[in-house]
Amino acid sequence: MALEANYLRVRLQQPGPAGERQLLCTRRARLAYGGQQVMVGDWVGLDGCDWGDGRAAVASLEPRCSQLQRPALANVDQVLVVVALAQPSLDEELLSRFLLSAETTGVEVVPVLSKADLITTAEASSWLQRLKCWGYDALCISREQPETLSLVRQRLAGGVAVLCGPSGVGKSSLLNALVPHLDLPTAAVSGKLQRGRHTTRHVELHDLPGGGLLADSPGFNRPELPLDQQQLPLLFPEIRRQLEEGARCRFRDCRHLQEPGCGLDHSWERYGTYRSLMEQSN
The span from the CA of 157 to the CA of 159, in Å, is 6
- Contact status, residue 65 vs residue 96, Cβ threshold 8 Å: no
One domain, residues 54 and 102: no
One domain, residues 153 and 253: no
One domain, residues 133 and 210: yes
Note the pLDDT tens digit of each residue in 61-83: 999 999 887 778 899 999 999 99
**What is the per-residue pLDDT for 209?**
83
Give pTM, 2 decimals: 0.84
Given a cut of 70, whether residue 263 has pLDDT beyond it is yes
One domain, residues 240 and 107: no
Note the pLDDT tens digit of each residue in 192-203: 434 444 444 577
Note the pLDDT tens digit of each residue in 18-57: 778 999 999 999 998 888 899 999 999 999 899 889 999 9
The span from the CA of 192 to the CA of 187, in Å, is 15
One domain, residues 125 and 158: yes
**What is the per-residue pLDDT for 222?**
60
Note the pLDDT tens digit of each residue in 123-162: 999 999 999 999 999 999 987 787 888 888 889 988 999 8
Would 225 be classed as within a structural domain?
Answer: no
**What is the per-residue pLDDT for 191?**
46
Closest by alpha carbon to 41, among 7, 80, 20, 71? 71
One domain, residues 167 and 199: yes
The span from the CA of 3 to the CA of 22, in Å, is 13
**Percent share of the chain, pLDDT over 70:** 89
One domain, residues 86 and 182: yes
Would 41 be classed as within a structural domain?
Answer: yes
**What is the per-residue pLDDT for 186?**
52
One domain, residues 49 and 119: no
Note the pLDDT tens digit of each residue in 162-212: 888 887 777 777 888 888 777 655 544 444 434 444 444 577 898 888 889
One domain, residues 72 and 209: yes
Task: For residues 203-228, give the mean pLDDT.
Answer: 75
The span from the CA of 202 to the CA of 72, in Å, is 10
Task: For residues 203-224, give the mean pLDDT.
Answer: 76
Omega before 71 cis (within 30°)?
yes
Note the pLDDT tens digit of each residue in 87-111: 878 888 889 989 998 898 899 999 9
The span from the CA of 205 to the CA of 107, in Å, is 17
One domain, residues 78 and 56: no
Q: Which of 39, 63, 87 is the last residue in one of the domains?
A: 63
One domain, residues 6 and 41: yes
**What is the per-residue pLDDT for 129?**
96
**What is the per-residue pLDDT for 183?**
64
**What is the per-residue pLDDT for 189?**
45
The span from the CA of 77 to the CA of 104, in Å, is 13
Would 227 be classed as within a structural domain?
Answer: no
**What is the per-residue pLDDT for 171?**
77
Would 162 be classed as within a structural domain?
Answer: yes
Kindly give the pairing relationship between strand 44-50 and strand 55-61: antiparallel
Domains in the chain, number: 3
The span from the CA of 121 to the CA of 238, in Å, is 26
- For residue 245, give its domain range: 232-280
Given a cut of 80, whether residue 219 has pLDDT beyond it is no
Given a cut of 80, whether residue 229 has pLDDT beyond it is no
The span from the CA of 42 to the CA of 205, in Å, is 11
Give the CATH number, domain containing residue 44: 2.40.50.140
Distances (CA, A) of 61 to 28, 37, 44, 198: 11, 9, 5, 31
**What is the per-residue pLDDT for 218?**
57
